[in-house]
């Protein structure tokens, strides 16, 4: 992969840096700045080299037009604090204000543009539209550094097309992530366990068929577990469910059995009356979610204590563990227990452990664990999962 060195001298050159600054926010306040910190190495290096630095990123999933709650403005402020230099924020991604801010940069200056996904071209399915948007982004730039590891699995304008219209290279975060994640591919020490949870269920179900070729055990928690329970014929009441994936999941269960891969599903679940921090809740058998006191209104928001203990036991016996996706709605204390037990097990095991994903990383830090408690904390969840399933990632292919 091309490195920053391949771009030659960057003094007085305008360099666009694609970061993944998609941080969790609560009422406009950043609750975990891990992804901002992870992007600083490349930014500092470019600044020190005398480059004029233009930072771009997405935040959340706005649908091609501006939405105030997804603004990157708070990120610029936090980045300036961490770098201890000004980071100018422009409330526009492309257009006259962005042009003026970029052309006005002096050597070493940094500007952060507004959320890429406020523009339909960024995530368009139409390659010509993505290319047109990438060309707009590239108007005043001399080079492109791709450092948003969390999005390298996305075919989006700022990830793939931008790399084609400018001299481009991988940033230091992307390079560092790949170096560590290599240990989770063919060289992974066995037994190898992958723990899956979170809420991006349809994205993550897709990786399972390839993971079955590579791992010994899959532990399933988070929002994804209900599609598995439903596929086995159990009622899940109002829990998160991907109805159109039931047959696919039945296929995974059969395939796992054929291959001798263990898929461990929770045996107990914490069911709540509503999706709220103070909702009434109770622990029920995973096979009787519909029979909780809340009937069909019940929502499964965490794995139960027996399941968490079983997951911990499997993790402790593993030589390699990759974990993506919280086991429950950890943002609410009543539903953080499963995530806490799994995090503790990763810190206790002698095996090599990797936690991947914006929310998973935020979860372990929010629960009081330190980055050094794990072998590696990856900034990418979906990206690292697709990498370890052996897929060619579009955002990396364009840098080869």
Ligand X SMILES: O=C(OP(=O)(O)O)[C@H](O)COP(=O)(O)O
d(CA 11, CA 2): 19
d(CA 206, CA 278): 33
166/303 with CB nearer ligand ADP:
303
Tell me: does residue 283 bind ligand ADP (CB under 6 A): no
Shortest Å, Cβ 93 to ligand X: 16
Question: In the complex, which residue's CB is closest to ligand X?
Answer: 381
Per-position x/- string for 230-259, each x denoting binding to ligand ADP as judged by CB under 6 A, each - no binding: ----------x-------------------
**Would you call 358 a catalytic residue per the annotation?**
yes
Any binding-site annotation on 204? yes
* Environment class of 142 (CB within 10 Å of its CB; exposed 0-12, middle 13-18, buried 19+): middle
Instruction: Name the binder of 130 from ligand ADP, ligand X, none, CB < 5-8 A by kind.
Output: none
Long-range contacts (CB closer than 8 Å, 24 or more residues apart) made by 314-318: 314/193, 314/217, 314/219, 314/264, 315/193, 315/195, 315/219, 315/342, 315/345, 315/346, 315/349, 315/351, 316/345, 316/348, 316/349, 317/191, 318/191, 318/192, 318/193, 318/216, 318/217, 318/349, 318/351
Closest Cα partner for 192 from 388, 383, 373, 381? 388
- Rounded to 5 degrees, what are φ and ψ at 304? -80, 170
Sequence-ordered list of residues with C-beta below 8 angstroms from that of 324, at least 6 positions apart, any chain: 194, 195, 196, 197, 198, 204, 355, 356, 357, 360, 381, 382, 384, 385
CB 212 within 8 A of CB 259: yes
Residues 366-395 that bind ligand ADP (CB under 6 A): 381
**Would you call 243 a catalytic residue per the annotation?**
no
Tell me: does residue 222 bind ligand ADP (CB under 6 A): yes
d(CA 42, CA 192): 32
197/382 with CB nearer ligand X:
382
Any binding-site annotation on 246? no
Any binding-site annotation on 307? no
**Would you call 35 a catalytic residue per the annotation?**
yes
CB 107 within 8 A of CB 12: yes
201/315 with CB nearer ligand X:
201
Any binding-site annotation on 112? no
221/381 with CB nearer ligand X:
381
- Rounded to 5 degrees, what are φ and ψ at 194? -115, 130
Pick the binder of ligand ADP from 33, 359, 386, 389 (CB under 6 A).
Answer: 359
Please report, as ranges, the residues that interact with ligand X according to CB under 6 A: 20, 22, 61, 150-151, 154, 200, 357-359, 380-382
Shortest Å, Cβ 365 to ligand ADP: 12
**Would you call 251 a catalytic residue per the annotation?**
no
Shortest Å, Cβ 165 to ligand ADP: 29
d(CA 149, CA 1): 14
Residues 297-356 that bind ligand ADP (CB under 6 A): 300-301, 324-326, 328-329, 331
Which of 13, 18, 35, 47 is catalytic? The answer is: 35
d(CA 34, CA 365): 9
Of 66-74, 139-147, 171-179, 194-202: span binding ligand ADP (CB under 6 A): 194-202
Which of 13, 47, 172, 200 is catalytic? The answer is: 200
Shortest Å, Cβ 290 to ligand ADP: 15
Q: What is the sign, positive or negative, of the torsion defined by CA atoms of 132, 135, 137, 140?
A: negative
Please report, in range form, the residues annotated as the binding site. Answer: 20-22, 35, 58-61, 117, 154, 204, 300, 331, 357-360
Binding site for ligand ADP (CB under 6 A): 197-200, 222-223, 240, 300-301, 324-326, 328-329, 331, 357-360, 381
Residues carrying an active site annotation: 35, 200, 358, 382
Numbered residues of the known binding site for ATP = 204, 300, 331, 357-360
């Amino acid at each position: 992969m091309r490195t920053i060195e391949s771009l030659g001298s960057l003094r007085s050159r305008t360099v666009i840096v694609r970061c993944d600054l998609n941080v969790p926010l609560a009422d406009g306040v950043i609750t975990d700045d891990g992804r901002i910190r992870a992007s600083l190495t490349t930014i500092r290096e470019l600044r020190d080299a005398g480059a004029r630095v233009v930072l771009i990123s997405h935040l959340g999933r706005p649908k091609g037009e501006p939405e105030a709650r997804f603004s990157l403005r708070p990120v610029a402020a936090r980045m300036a604090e961490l770098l201890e230099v000004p980071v100018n924020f422009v409330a526009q991604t492309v257009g006259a204000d962005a042009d003026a801010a970029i052309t006005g940069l002096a050597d070493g200056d940094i500007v952060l543009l507004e959320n890429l996904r406020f523009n339909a071209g960024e995530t368009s399915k139409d390659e010509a539209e993505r290319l047109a948007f990438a060309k707009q982004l590239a108007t005043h730039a001399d080079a492109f550094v791709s450092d948003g590891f969390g999005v390298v699995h996305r075919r989006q304008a700022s990830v793939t097309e931008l790399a084609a219209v400018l001299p481009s290279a991988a940033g230091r975060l992307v390079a560092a992530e790949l170096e560590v994640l290599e240990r989770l591919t063919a060289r992974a020490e066995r037994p190898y366990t992958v723990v899956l949870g979170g809420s991006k269920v349809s994205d993550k179900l897709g990786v399972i068929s390839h993971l079955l070729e590579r791992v010994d055990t899959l532990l399933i928690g988070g929002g994804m577990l209900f599609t598995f329970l439903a596929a086995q014929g159990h009622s899940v009441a109002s829990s998160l469910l991907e109805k159109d994936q039931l047959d696919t999941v039945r296929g995974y269960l059969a395939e796992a059995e054929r291959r001798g891969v263990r898929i461990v599903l929770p045996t107990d679940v914490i069911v709540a009356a509503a999706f709220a921090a103070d909702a009434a809740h109770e622990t029920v058998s995973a096979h009787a979610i519909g029979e909780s006191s809340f009937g069909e209104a019940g929502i499964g928001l965490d794995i139960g204590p027996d399941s968490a203990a079983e997951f911990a036991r499997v993790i402790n016996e593993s030589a390699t563990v990759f974990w993506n996706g919280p086991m429950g709605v950890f943002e609410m204390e009543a539903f953080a227990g499963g995530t806490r037990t799994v995090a503790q097990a990763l810190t206790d095991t002698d095996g090599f452990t990797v936690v991947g994903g914006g929310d998973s990383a935020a979860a372990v830090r929010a629960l009081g664990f330190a980055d050094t408690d794990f072998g590696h904390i990856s900034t990418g969840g979906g990206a690292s999962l697709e990498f370890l399933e052996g897929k060619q990632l579009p955002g990396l292919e364009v840098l080869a």
